[in-house]
Each structure stands twice: as C-alpha cells, then as structure tokens.
Amino acid sequence: MSELTTKLFIDVKNFEKYQSMLKCQVHIEEERHGDYCLPGFPDRHNFHRLLRILRKHDDGLTSKQLIYDFDYRPSDLEDATKALVTNNLSTTTPINEEDYKIQLNTEGIEVADNLLKRRDKITEAAYHSLSENEQRELDRLVNKLIEDYANRDVNYNALGNICR
C-alpha cells in the first residue's frame, strides 16, 4: 500500500501542476483579447472580487458593509471602486462623509457575468475528459480526503503562516 500511496501523492502533485497551468492558459488567452483587464488598474484580483460580490447583491452594498462583512481593506476598496466607476461598470451614491453605496450598472452586471463564465471555462478545461459520474466520484473521494485532513489534530492556521 505504501508504494501506491506514494504514487498517488506524486500523481496528485502533477495534477495540481497541470490544473494550475490550464487556469493560467485561460487567463492568458483572455488577456490577449483584453478581457477582464481595466486600463490603469493592474490589480485585477481586487476589482474582480468586488464585481463578484456586487453581482450577488442587486441593490448594491455600502462601503461599510464591504469593509466589515467582506473584510475589504479600505484602500483596496477605494481602488476597486475607482476602477469600476472609471470604467462605467458601477455607480456610487454618497450616504455620508464616510460611507457610500456602490452598485453595478447594466454593463457591470454583464462583465461580472462574463467573469463567472470564465470559471466555467477553467473547470471545463480541467475536467472535460471525465464523465459526469466520474466527476461525482472524484468529488466524493476528494471530499473524503478533505474531511480527513480537517479532522486531524493539526493547527492549519499556524502551518499556513509558517509554510507560505
């Protein structure tokens, strides 16, 4: 069993490597076409996150909600808001001197939806060779391993800080 376990560990590491490269390929192809990049705003992860959050809240959110409920750093939120407003993807409405409401407009909703479709492209690239039943079985096995890892007597938070 030990030889098989070692082989499985190495196979999973290789799988993770290829999966990461496929994700990168999808991102590179989209950047060639200018998708998902906003001129003058290099931190796309920041405004992509805001797009995904706002897409789930049709009525928009306040800056305080984003800071406290979604753990946004004020400076990151300011940059992301500026990126969306400058590129006509959202509007802001002042509430008081310290708080404002941000809401996606029609174009912002379309961009957010396309961002979500990108996830589908990535997952399709990674798992298209498996049938639906095989995907379910793989999901079951992976979740079994995750549950086992989560239930071990290990301080994963401390390890995460040490092993980065």
What pLDDT sits at residue 36? 57
Q: What is the DSSP string of 72-120?
A: --HHHHHHHHHHHHHTTSEEEEE-SSS-EEEEE-HHHHHHHHHHHHHHH
Give the per-residue pLDDT at 101.
97
pLDDT of residue 73: 92
pLDDT digits (tens, 9 = 90+) for 103-125: 999 999 998 998 888 778 878 87
pLDDT averaged over the chain? 87
Q: What is the pLDDT of residue 33?
A: 61
* Residue ranges in the chain modelled with pLDDT below 50: none
The pTM score is 0.65
Q: How far apart are CA 82 and CA 5, in angstroms?
A: 50
